[in-house]
Structures are given as structure tokens and as C-alpha cells.
Amino acid sequence: MSLSALSRAASYAGNTLRYRHFWTHLAFSDLRARFRRSRLGILWLALQPLLLTIIMSGVFIFVFSQRFSDYSVYLFSGLIVWEFVTGCFVIGGMSYIAAEGYVRQVRLPMIIYPLKSALYCCIVFMLAFSGFTLYALAVKPQIVSLHWLYILPFFLTLAVFGTPLAILSAIVNIRFRDFQQGITLFLQMLLYVSPVMMLPSVFEHRGLREWNSINPVSALLELFRAPLLEGTAPALSSYLLVLAWALLFWLLALALLARNERKIVFYY
């Protein structure tokens, strides 16, 4: 990379940082807007996965022969991580569409809109996680231990993994609106082949095992559940897998951003 390219990248990053108040405030504003006339407000962010967990667990405990307390905690944890991943794709994908008013009036680094979406998803995850914590304390309090501190590096990893997904989705979707349809389908498929609601034992079968070993969502779920549910340290190999995928996504995202930065305004 040439010196001028590096200095341009540095000034771009500096600019993004300069406008941090703008995109961070907007993330909170989006959250407020979502629940503006709702009585329960942000409580829904914990309530929705909780209710879904209860209903699904009611059925799946017979499929997997599990105790309700064990499986529901497992499922709840899966659902909130999954919600983050889908959010990065779907809400991330809407970043530029939602920001049309700003894009057409003021020139700002284009990365800030998907960054805002990623931040939004992170906030949602944190609030949902609070709900999960309360549920775990109520239903299976013995799992809450010092290992829960692993949530901090996990959260960072999650953010690093999800942000480039938001950037990629935002750029692809503004150009090809089919993305919105396609990605919903893709996510539905991914849901069934990841241990979100399925127990890990399902993925020990031939064929599924290979896929499961490279699926970043599996690794993320393992990183989340190992300390939280099993009280063990998360596997380094899982961190490496997630970060490898994250690196790939970042490279793609930044390349796509560099190419499309000045063209996005023409795709409205």
C-alpha cells in the first residue's frame, strides 16, 4: 500500500472518529424511535427472545429429551447471538437506505452508516443479554460464575465480527435490492445448520461435522456458551476461527467500501 493511500486511509479513519457523536447518537435515536409509542419499550428486547425461548423449549425438550431448565437457557443464549448476526445483515443492509437524507445533503465518510447499524445491534445484544442473565439467575442460577467475565472478550469479538457484515450488507443492498430478499432466505437456511436451537450432538454426524467446524456462527455460539453455560474457558480455536472469518469480511468490506464510497449516492 502506497504512502498516500495509507495517509488517505488514516484521514478517513480520523474523520470517522471525528463524527463519532453523530453516528453514535443516531444509533440511540433509532432505538428510541423503535419503541416510541410502545408501553413496554426496550423491555421487548429481553421479552421477545424470552417468550420465543419458552414456546420453542416447550416443544424441543421432547425432540432432544432435555430438561426445560437446561434447554431453555441453551436456546435463549443461541437466540440472542443469532439475533445479533441477523441484525447485522438485515439492519446493516438498510443503513444507506435509511440514511438517504444525510447522504444527499452532507458528505461524510460512508462507513459511518453501517457503523451506526452495528452499534445498534450491539446495544440490542447487551439489553437482550441482561434479560438472559435474569432468566439464568431465575432458572439455573448455578451457572452464573466468575467465568461470566468471558463475556467481555466475547462481546468485542462479536462486534468485530458483525461490523464488516453490516458494511457489506449496506453496500450490496443499496446497489441490488434483491439482497434483502436473498439474505432473509440465506439466514433462514443458516439458522437450521447452526447450533442455535439444535444441540451440538446433532452436528457430530458425518457431513454436518465438517461444516460445523468451519461455521463461524457455531464458533461464536461455542465462545458464548462455554463460559456461560458450562463454566469452562472458551476454546482458542473458536476465537481463531471467528477472527479469521472476521478478517476476511473486513478485507472484503473495506475493498467494497473503497470502490463504492463515491458511487453510493448514485444508487438511490
Q: Taking a C-beta distance cutoff of 8 angstroms, is the pair 158, 81 a contact? A: yes
246 binds another protein per the rule CB under 8 A = no
22 binds another protein per the rule CB under 8 A = yes
106 binds another protein per the rule CB under 8 A = yes
Backbone angles phi, psi at 142, to 5 degrees: -65, -20
Query: Binding segment for another protein among 97-105, 117-125, 163-171, 211-219 (CB under 8 A)?
Result: 97-105
Largest alpha-carbon pair distance within the chain?
62
97 binds another protein per the rule CB under 8 A = no
Q: How far from 70 is each of 75, 100, 141, CA to CA, in Å? A: 9, 46, 11
**Would residue 41 be called left, alpha or beta, if left means φ above 0 and alpha means ψ between -120 and 50 degrees?**
left
Closest distance between another protein and the C-beta of residue 125, in Å?
23
115 binds another protein per the rule CB under 8 A = no
Q: Which of 11, 29, 232, 237 binds another protein (CB under 8 A)?
A: 29
Mark 147-186 with x for binding to another protein (rule: CB under 8 A) and - for no binding: ----------------------------x-----------
Q: To which residue does cell 424470552 refer?
A: 50
Closest distance between another protein and the C-beta of residue 15, in Å?
9
The H helix count followed by the E strand count for the chain is 12, 0
Query: Binding segment for another protein among 20-28, 127-135, 218-226, 246-254 (CB under 8 A)?
Result: 20-28
Rounded Cα distance between 204 and 223, Å, is 18
Q: Is 261 helix (H, G, I), strand (E, B) or coil?
A: coil
39 binds another protein per the rule CB under 8 A = no
262 binds another protein per the rule CB under 8 A = yes
Q: Taking a C-beta distance cutoff of 8 angstroms, is the pair 94, 227 a contact? A: no
Could you list the residues that contact another protein (CB under 8 A)? 18-19, 21-22, 25-26, 29, 32-33, 36, 100-108, 175, 262-263, 265-267
